[in-house]
Every structure is written in C-alpha cells, then in structure tokens.
Chain A
Amino acid sequence: MSDILILCEHDRGSIEPSTLEALTFARGAFEGDDLHVLVCGEVDDLAPLGEYGATAVIVAEHDMLRDFSPETWGQVLAQQIDDMSPEVVLACGTSRGNEVLAQAAARLDMPFVANVNEVADDFADDDETEVTRVQWGGSLLERAGLEADTKIISVTHHAVEPVSAEGEEAPSSTFEPEIDELYARSIVIDREIAEAGVTLSTAPVVVGGGRAVGSADAFAPLEELAELLGGRVGCSRAVTNNGWRPHSDQVGQTGTRIAPELYIANGISGAIQHWVGAMASKKILAINTDPDANMVTKADYCVIGDLHDIIPAVIEEVKKRS
C-alpha cells in the first residue's frame, strides 16, 4: 500500500472543485492506496474531501496561512513530503496547483511533471516510470519518463469530472508547520472584485469573432447577439493583437478556456492557439466565408457566408420570435 499526498486547493476556506478532480483522478489511478489530503490553513467544511475519497486529512495551522501565498504553501507541502515520504504527490493543474507543486519541488530538488492525463501501471511503486502529459495546451501529448522515489505530478485541469465516492468524513489531524517569516513577502495583500454577471468561462453562449470581423466597431452586432442570448463576446488572438478587444475577451491557449453550451465562431480560421481554448464547447457553430477553414471542418454546424450579413439577419430573426 502506497501513500498518496494530495494538495487541497481552496480560497480562504472554500474548497475548489479542482481539489475534487484531483481526488477523483487519484481514486482511479491509485486504487486501494492511502489518499492523504494536505490543507494549508483553515477550511470551512472538510466533509467533501472524505466524500470524494480522502482516507485522511492533515490540516496545517499557522498565522501565515491566513491567505494564499505560493511560497508559504510550497514550504508547508515540502515539509509534509519530507516527513511522510509519499510515493506520489498530486494536485490539480490549475494556476495555484502547478505553482505550489513547483515551489515544493524546487525546495526539495525533486522533479515535477505538470499536466498529466495518465500514469503507468504500478506508477506509485516504481521509481522509474512513465506518464502521459499534455503539451501545446492540449494539442499534443508527450509520454515522459520519470525517475524518482517521490513522484510529484499535477493532473490536467478538466481532464476528469469530479465524481463523488460517497465516502465517510475522513479522520483529520492538525499540525503547526515551520514557516520562515521571510515568506510573508508573497502573501496576497488585497483583492479587486470584477463586475458581477456572467463571465467568459461560465457563459452559456459565447459569440466569438476573428480577424474577419475587421475592426473594433464591427463587433457591435456580435455584442448585440451575445446580449440577446445572455452570453458573452469572445475573440481570437489576432483580434486582441490588433487592439480591437481587451485580452480578457481572448479565447485560447494563452487566453480563456471556454465551455459554453454553444460557441458561435464568426470569421475565425481556427488556429491551434484558438482551438484549444474552444474545444471544450458542447456545440460549435462556425460562420465563415471559407468552407475549408479549420474551424469550419471541426465545428458541429456551419454556415458558409459573410458574418457581416448573417449576424444582423440572425438578430432580426431572434427579435421577431421573442
């Protein structure tokens, strides 16, 4: 039986769904092993951890864990790895997850493999083993070799859906880690809250525009359609590079990853950079003058034609029916 140490990602006490993804992955990959969850700082409700398969919960309590800091969390995790010598250390490959695992790995001078989709059989027990991980934001895979007694990996975000194990509340213990006061330097000092409402990553409909839209002003009909459908406008990298839309509207590998019920891609060619941000959409409708555009051939539905004519006609039709 192996020891698997899982980092609990939470924001000021509320557990992130990504933690449940990591637990779900661990249950499948490390069946029968002990799943220990490490919590840095206090969490409102520990019950979901047991419910999703944790066999034990370890809570690190310290004044300096009042809010997130990559350095304090990294140091606490490194200490726990040192104490426990687990065979596997795991987190979800979110911004924080990857950052904290890298912080811990750097401190221990251990390897860290980010964004893993699959591990080899007997992964926990072999000190020379393999994983399959993503490259290019998901457009390519890599089989990577790993040589280590303790294997530190993150699981690609959204690679598994969190599924409850209907487990009992796991026994929990607390400890006070040693944290160098110096690391107060990277604790979050403040927050700005963005405007309320539907965000690009949660919108049920995204109306996307590419280079073919032509200008900042020409996005007005896309805005109107998005509003009519209770959705948001998205765009390709070419659009932000031209300064037509803010970067926060960009869908893609270096922008936002969207997962709406419907993505309407207008005049978007579908370069890899954009596609990996859009591919989690449930359905895609591509509107394009080019029937051979990558976005058109990968979409569920297409309309061949000029978005500048079609979008206003769709708006009119939607208004007529409501």
Chain B
Amino acid sequence: MRVLVCVKRVPAPGARINITDDGQAVDAAHLGFTVSPHEECGVEECVQLVERHGGEATVLTLGPVEAEEQLRYAASLGVQHAVLLSADTTQWDPQRTASAIADAIETLEAEDGAFDLILFGNESADTGGFQVGIRVAHKLERPIVNAIKGIDLDLDNSKVTARREIDGGREIYELPTPAILGVKEGLNLPRYPTMKGRLASKKVEIKVLEAEGDEGQQSRVTLLQPPEQVSNTVKIGEGVEAAPAIVDLLDELGVLS
C-alpha cells in the first residue's frame, strides 16, 4: 500500500496575528511554524494506515526550503518518505498550487507506482481556499470527498469508506481507490513524536523537486486586520464570592431555566 499526505507550512499564531508592513504576509518574525491542524490528522492517519496495512507513507509539501521542518516532523511520527516541491509561493494562488502538486504526484507515481490514497487538509489554516485537493483530484481523474472525519481502507476490494460529519449526524461515502480525501481535525488524535522518531527523522532523505505550476487568475492585493471589536469587559467579582452575582447575570440574560 502507498499513501500520500500533502501538508502546508503555516505560522502558529497566539492571541493576535500581525501583518508585515507591505501587507503581503503574516508577520512571522516571532512565531513558530506548524502544519494546519487538519493536515496533522492527515499525517497521523497515514502512519496508522501503514501500521494496519503495511506499505509506505509519503509526505509532500509545496513551499520554501524552510518547510523541510514540517516534513521532518511528519517523518518523526513515522512517515517514511518526504518530498519538497521547492518554490517561493508567496504570490501563488490555488490554481497554480494545485497544478504544481498534480504534476509532482504524476512524477512520483511514474517512478514508484500509484498511491492508493492521497489525503489533503479540508482547507489550510491560513489562506483557507477550500479547493487545492479538489483541483488535484480533477487533474488526476480521481474521486474526492471533503470534510472527512473517519476512514476505513479496504485494500482487498479496492475501496475506501469515508465518514463526513454533518449537523446532527454523519454521511457515509464509499469511493473506489485510488482516491483522494479532504480530511478534518477530529479524524484521530495525532501522536507526539518520540525521541527515537526525532532521531530517525534526521536521516530521512528529502526528495527535492522544482515546482512551476501554471499561473492562476487570483492575486493578493493586501492583508487587512478586521475592524476591532471594542469590548469594555465588566468585572462582576472575584473568587467564590462572585457566585451570586454570576447567577444574577444568568437570570438577567434569561438562561436560568
């Protein structure tokens, strides 16, 4: 079995996101980097699929050379192969991103065979375009369903059962493999890397491909802060003595049943 997970390097913001002076990017000077939460679950799922079915997992990212950090993190959790599609993607739009990733997947599959399953995050934490996985699936002529929070891969029958959470329940899909899924956080609980995993990840060879991609039709003019929500917090008390005042407030707001 061969599985692939595509991840994106994004800043890990705290309580506020600042913008660079030119308005083109998030000011990450004092921030760490991570992968989008949905994709963390995608990485974990690939590792679990290999534990269950054997075979190999590959992680791929498109971005600057610094994204090697995110590839090594995935490797420290148990992913065997890592691919960096190297490009300065600051001005890339979703169409171009998808076309470069689809090209790269075709190259990887021509060398080592098709991936039974490819996972994308449902949307990236930063730009949130909601479309790269779908465009890649269309170029590769494979089925894709988004918002997936449960996966059962049946290799014998070449199919994957996928569960999607909707308000008040779940939808069940059954796709023939090779297939692609857009996954969401909650799919699993990602593990933390072990010391052994960290050491092993340093030795994983990173395959570097140059990314081109066909130019898209969307561009960034500038990033903006949303209008500040002014809040004059009313302090209603301190410690246990505040309990009656809290219940008065519940009453006042009409939520005391």
The range of chain B's interface size is 35 or more
Bound CA–CA A145/B93 (angstroms) = 11
B172→A136 contact, CB < 8 A = no
Is B224 touching A102 in the complex (CB atoms < 8 A)?
Answer: no
B205 interface residue (CB < 8 Å to A) = no
- Quick one: CB contact mask for B25-39 with A, threshold 8 Å, 1 for yes? 010000000000110
| Cα of A255 to Cα of B250 in the assembled complex, Å | 26
The CA-CA distance from A205 to B164 in the complex, in Å, is 26
Instruction: Tell me, yes or no, whether B110 is within 8 Å of chain A by CB.
Output: no
A194 near B169 (CB under 8 angstroms)?
Answer: yes
For the complex of A and B, 8 pairs with smallest distance between CB atoms: A247-B186, A313-B243, A102-B131, A106-B138, A305-B239, A98-B130, A190-B172, A143-B221
B interface: dominant SS:
mixed
Is A229 a contact partner of B17 (Cβ separation < 8 A)?
no
Which residues from chain B contact A318 at a C-beta distance below 8 Å?
Answer: 247, 250, 256
Shortest CB-to-CB span from A204 to chain B, Å, is 6
**Residues from 100 to 140 in B contacting A, C-beta threshold 8 Å:** 123, 125-131, 134-135, 137-139
* A194 & B243 in contact (Cβ 8 Å cutoff): no
Is the CB–CB distance between B225 and A285 below 8 Å?
A: no
Identify the interface centre among B147, B229, B243: most chain A CB within 10 Å of its CB.
B243
Specify the chain A residue showing the minimal Cβ separation from B218: A111
* Cα-based distance from A132 to B131 in the complex (angstroms): 18
Contact with A along B237-257 (1 / 0, CB 8 A): 111101111110111011111
- Tell me how far the C-beta of A32 lies from the nearest C-beta in chain B, rounded to whole angstroms: 26
Closest-by-CB residue of B relative to A133 is B128
Q: Are B138 and A107 in contact (CB under 8 A)?
A: yes
- Is there contact, CB below 8 Å, between B170 and A194? yes
* Structural contact, B19 and A192, CB atoms closer than 8 A: no
Residue in B closest to A305 when the chains form the complex, CB atoms: B239
Q: Does A23 lie at the interface of the complex (its beta carbon under 8 Å from any beta carbon of B)? A: no
Residue pair B189, A199 in contact (C-beta under 8 Å): no
Interface code A221-234, partner B: CB below 8 Å = 1, 0 otherwise? 00000001111000
A289-316 interface (Cβ within 8 A of B): 294, 296-306, 309-310, 313-314, 316
CB-contact partner of B223 in A140, A230, A241, A283, under 8 A: A140
Quick one: CB contact mask for A31-57 with B, threshold 8 Å, 1 for yes? 000000000000000000000000000
Judging by beta carbons under 8 Å apart, are B217 and A142 in contact?
Answer: no
Q: How far is the CA of A189 from the CA of B170 in the complex (A)?
A: 11
Instruction: Name the residue of chain A whose CB is nearest to the CB of B222.
Output: A143
Query: How far apart are the CA atoms of A273 and B250 in the complex, in Å?
Result: 27
A272 at the B interface (CB under 8 A)? yes
**Which residues of chain A come closer than 8 Å to B246, judged between CB atoms?**
285, 303, 310, 314, 317
Report the bound CA distance from A66 to B146 in whole Å: 19
